[in-house]
Amino acid sequence: MIRVVLVDDQPLIRTGLRVLIADTPGLEVVGEAGDGEEAVELVRRLRPDVAIMDIRMPGTDGIEATRRINADPESRTLVLVLTTFDDDAYVYGALRAGASGFLVKDMPLETILDGIRVLAAGDALIAPSVTRRLIGEFAARPEPAPGPRHPGAGGITDREREVLTLVGRGLSNTEIAGELCISVATAKAHVARLFTKLDARDRVHLVILAYEFGLVTPPG
């Protein structure tokens, strides 16, 4: 059973998710919070598998709550952030805080259910529209510069660099396989090796590294 905590200051959002999850085998809501401070305490007490986290909330926001959840050495909770189209400025901060996934609030609720399962299975996901805005957000910041800055960047093969580029563009393993004319199993193996070589915690982290290595450039 995948145990979920809902964090959103809008009761209607929480109610919709709670009702949907209640009708979904293998998932259960074990707690709800209306702000980040409450969410941190709830996660510390209940130790859920996944926290569905809003970004904009009164008091402690979703970015700070995510950071504090991930800073807890005993926490194994994965954070799935629900963002909206005007949350661009917050995406980079939430990634750095350790969020493992991003979905947009206007997606079908069933897509969010799939996202919960993906995270609980040890993968990570970013909605394609969020990926595009994420790259744009990186481009607006002065810190990243092209070239391999990560100590493990020089250790990846040419094929792994190709795979990392496609991950940075937001492609799934199936899409990577099609793009490179390889099997899905081989694509998954390349991604797994990138996790190890680059000490990346998840697929979201690989997107960050793809930009910082200069493998992905913003559109336009």
| Count: domains in the chain | 2
Parent domain of 189: 153-212
Digit-coded pLDDT (tens) for 138-190: 555 554 444 444 555 668 899 999 999 998 887 878 888 999 999 988 998 99
Residue 117 clears pLDDT 90, i.e. is over it: no
Last residue of a domain, one of 84, 114, 138: 138
Query: Is residue 146 one of the residues assigned to a domain?
Result: no
Q: Which of 10, 39, 206 is nearest to 126 (CA)?
A: 206
Q: What are phi and psi of 30, to 5 degrees?
A: -105, -5
Distance CA 73, CA 135 (A): 30
CATH of the domain at 196: 1.10.10.10
Residue 201 clears pLDDT 90, i.e. is over it: no
Do 74 and 175 belong together in one domain? no
Distance CA 15, CA 198 (A): 39
Model confidence pTM above 0.75 = no
More confident residue, 98 or 204: 98
Do 24 and 104 belong together in one domain? yes
Do 120 and 205 belong together in one domain? no
Distance CA 93, CA 111 (A): 24
pLDDT at 148: 43
